Amino acid sequence: MDFNQDFKKGKKKLKKKKSQLPFRLNILFISVFAIFSLLIIQLGVVQILNGEEAQRQINQTENTPSEKPVPRGKFYDSQYNLVLDNQAVKSITYTPPKNGDTAENKLKLAEDLANYITIYKDEEELEDVITDRDRREYYYLLHAEEIQERLTEEEEDLDPGEKYQEELKSITDEELASIDWNHDLLNVIAIKKELDAAYELSPHVIVNEGLTDEEYAKVSEHLPEMVGIDAVIDWDRKPLYDDTFSSFLGNLTSSDNGIPDENSEYYLANGYTWNDRVGTSGLEQQYEHVLRGRKEKVKYTTDTNGTVINSEVVVEGQRGKDIVLTVDMDLQEELDNIVEDELRTAINHPVNNSGYLEDAMAVLMDPRTGEILAMSAIRYDREEKEYLNNAYRNVYDSHAPGSSIKGATVLAGYQEGVIDIGTVLDESPIKIRGSAEKSSYAYLGSSLNDVQALEKSSNAYMMRIALRISGATYQRNEPLYNFNFDAFNTFRNYYSQFGLGVSTGVDLPFEANGVIGTNPLAGNLLDLSFGNYDAYTTLQLAQYVATIANDGYRMRPHLVKEIREPGTGDGMPGKLIESIDPEVLNRIDMEEKYIERVQEGFRRVFTSGTAQSHWSSIPYEVAGKTGTAQNPQYVNGEIRDTENLTLVGYSPAEDPEVAFAVVVPKNGTGSNQYPINHEIGKRAIEAYYELKDKTDDEKVDEVNDHEEE
């Protein structure tokens, strides 16, 4: 009985357990289904509703590349002596987070940084730097909510930039006066201005010039407290020859300015950042692509707020490639000394009555290769009574050359068929009705042939070439008949073949092409024929005479001889990358016999002609041409006569290796004037040969051996 009852009870319990199991499984399945449904719904919300915001956060935390500048390439002279180096400079920089930072945060950072540095030590300079707008913006940060409430309904509808301008305008002078604008506060504002100038993830120099070691150390100690601030080593240019040749080496933008705004698209498209320093003149600009180097590439990792949480160098930087100049700095320094010394002598000479003499220029170049060996220009500042190195005037300033260009005139006459070898022309003055009589500087005989005209520097011979080329019928004191105005173009076409009135092609970012007269009067054509109308630079005159010296081949003048890999720190340039080969721009359209005829005339100028008395004592063979051009100065309605003195030449007369041009504008007049052009030219040639004998062949051999290793 008991057994049956227990059995029945057991069966009931088993049935109850069986009935409960499907119910629990159902609950479990329903729960799992609900959880997966919630996950699917949440995923949809993230992807569909919040997808854009999620992607933005992903972008904020991705790795972002940035670049750091490296030192620029160095300059060496032709003997591999270092000319322009890099100098380490301690700097404080600021690297903004991705997407920038708020004005409030930057003000707080500026206040913290101001505890350790003062970026303008001079009180007056600091006052000049901080503008009225800077003060208003500072006041605005302190009273933003109050100022924003002043806007009218119309002003509220303006775009953010215009609205901000109206808010700043609403700040009164009385409100500004309520601030104590002391030196410490102005320093904070000056620092904030630098912080505002920085671009995201691009290091911007806050201060380097004037930064003391103590300030640098303090900032370095507190870097963890100032996010984005760093104490680094920056680089600046260090010239080893002071201002010698500096105007041709050129300048860079400052660390404050970065790339120029007017060319920003070009620089940004070529891998520059806003804060990069670039060349703005001279060879620094011309060879920017060589000197800039390969920047160090850094990968930044940022959090969702744009704050840098990690950085990693992914590409090591390499400083720019080195440049070897064609210039020998020993010769350059000597030429500077010669030009300044002779200019000083001429200005103080008792017979010099010009009162306007202030410049002297000289160029030495190799006629065979176009290599510029030295270029010097010294200017006397009459107000400050000091002599300044203005070497750039050789390519910027144009002056009437006078008789120096008569070689080109004679060659034009040959080629046009109006004269030939040995042609004799009347030497008498020329008088066109209605104009002043024009003649040679003195009576040179009743007639001269072509070589004699160069030797004695006849103006009349050149003018008669011009009349023949123009096709005009000339009778003394009568108008010219059948004058062809195309004669101006004919002359200038021939002159341009020598580099006169056109670009020389020198490797600089800018050069003047000379000044071309625009009044096509017959008398001006006569003046043009003997160098008293159009004006040329000293470098153009050097290229002109070098073309004659080089048998009619015009070479491109250049200042850079080689491009080399960066040196290894032992004072030597690195491996040769590129050697600048001589480049022929053109061969003048003249027969060889005519060029040789002009060369003979140039040789006679120095052996028996207008230069003989000045050069008789020099032991070197020289050929060339002297020149004098009228250059009247108008002051207070009065005319004071002055003259441009020029001299072009080459040495030796056979197989020339150096050509030169000297220009001295606004000298006095008269036969007793100090012959400054001859003295500069003579001493320059002497210096060339003396230094040639002292060339440091050992240094050159050492560089070549170093390259092979």
Q: pLDDT per residue over 211-231, tens digit each?
A: 899 999 999 999 888 988 988
Question: Cα–Cα distance between 426 and 706 in angstroms, integer?
Answer: 64
Of 530, 424, 483, the residue nearest 475 (C-alpha): 483
Comparing 175-184, 315-324, 490-499, the range with the smallest average pLDDT is 315-324
Single residue among 325, 343, 367 that ends a domain in this structure: 325
Across the range 86-96, mean pLDDT stands at: 89
Residues 366 and 418 in one domain: yes
**478 pLDDT above the threshold of 60:** yes
pLDDT category of residue 99 using cuts at 50, 70 and 90: confident
Q: Is the pLDDT of residue 267 over 60?
A: yes
Q: Is residue 170 part of a domain?
A: no
262 lies in some domain: yes
Same structural domain, 693 and 667: yes
Instruction: Specify which residues 481 forms β-bridges with.
Output: 473
Q: How confident is the prediction for the chain on average, in pLDDT?
A: 88
Q: How far is CA 27 from CA 36, 39, 40, 521, in A?
A: 14, 19, 20, 113
pLDDT tens string 656-675: 999 999 999 999 888 788 99
**DSSP letter assigned to residue 273:** -
| Catalytic residue chosen out of the listed positions 91, 202, 255, 403 | 403
Which residues does 244 contact at the CB level (< 8 Å), separation at least 6? Answer: 329, 332, 333, 336, 389
Question: What is the SS3 assignment for 415-432?
Answer: HHCCCCCCCCEECCCECE
Q: What is the pLDDT of residue 296?
A: 74
* DSSP run (H or E) holding 16: helix 2-44
List pLDDT tens digits, range 510-545: 999 999 999 999 999 999 999 999 999 999 999 999
Query: Residue 684 above 80 pLDDT?
Result: yes
CATH number at residue 388: 3.40.710.10
pLDDT band at residue 39 under the 50/70/90 scheme: confident
In a domain, 58, yes or no: no
- pLDDT value, residue 658: 98
How many C-beta atoms surround the C-beta of residue 586 within 10 A? 14
Compare 700 and 154 and report the one with higher pLDDT.
154
Please say which residue of 300, 325, 350 terminates a domain: 325
Total residue count of the chain as it appears in this document: 709
Determine the structural domain holding residue 7 and report its residue range.
2-49
- Please indicate, yes or no, if residue 123 is contained in any of the structural domains: yes
**Does the active-site annotation cover 403?**
yes
Kind of pairing between the strands at 75-76 and 322-325: parallel
Alpha helices by DSSP H, 86-182: 103-113, 123-129, 132-142, 144-148, 153-156, 160-169, 173-177
Do 92 and 241 reside in the same domain of the chain?
A: yes
Say whether pLDDT at 127 is over 70.
yes
pLDDT over 70 (residue 484): yes
Phi, psi (rounded to 5 degrees) for 655 = 50, 60
What is the C-alpha separation between 156 and 143, in angstroms, rounded?
A: 18
3-class state of residue 626 by DSSP? strand
623 and 544 within one domain: yes
Based on the fold, state whether residues 9 and 85 are members of the same structural domain: no
CA torsion, ordered 428, 429, 431, 437, to nearest 10 deg = -160
- Count how many domains the chain has: 3
Q: Are residues 296 and 436 in the same domain?
A: no
* SS3 call for 545: helix
Residue 162 lies in a domain: no
Please tell me the predicted confidence (pLDDT) of residue 36: 72
The domain boundary, picked from 325, 340, 368, lies at 325
Same-domain pairing of 287 and 366: no
Decide if 164 is inside a domain. Answer: no
The band of 502, judged by pLDDT with boundaries at 50, 70 and 90, is very high
Q: Is the pLDDT of residue 15 over 70?
A: no
10 Å Cβ neighbour count for 191? 26
Q: Are 44 and 115 members of one domain?
A: no
CA–CA distance, 454 with 600 (Å, rounded to integer): 9
243/349 same-domain check: no
The CATH number assigned to the domain holding 219 equals: 3.90.1310.10
Shared domain for 681 and 538, answered yes or no, is yes
Predicted pLDDT of residue 19: 55
pLDDT band of residue 254 (cuts 50, 70, 90) is: confident
Which contacts of 170-175 are long-range, i.e. CB under 8 A and separated by 24 or more positions?
Answer: 171/136, 171/139, 171/140, 171/147, 175/139, 175/143
Nearby residues of 701 by Cβ (< 8 Å), 6 or more positions away: none
Range with lowest mean pLDDT among 65-69, 159-163, 606-610? 65-69
**Euclidean distance between the first and final Cα of the chain, in Å?**
115
Percent of the chain at pLDDT above 90?
A: 65
Burial of 105 (0-12, 13-18, 19+ CB in 10 A): middle
For residue 315, the cross-strand partners are 297
- Does a structural domain hold residue 411? yes
Kindly state whether residues 297 and 194 are assigned to the same domain.
Answer: yes
54, pLDDT greater than 70: no
Asked whether residue 663 is assigned to any structural domain, the reply reads: yes
Q: What is the pLDDT of residues 413-440, one digit of tens each?
A: 999 999 999 999 999 999 999 889 999 9
- CA count, 13 A, side-chain hemisphere, 359: 22
* Residue 560, token pair as written in the block: 């850079």
Four-residue CA torsion sign, 581, 586, 592, 597: negative
Shared domain for 338 and 228, answered yes or no, is no
Averaged pLDDT, 374-400? 96
pLDDT above 90 (res 475):
yes
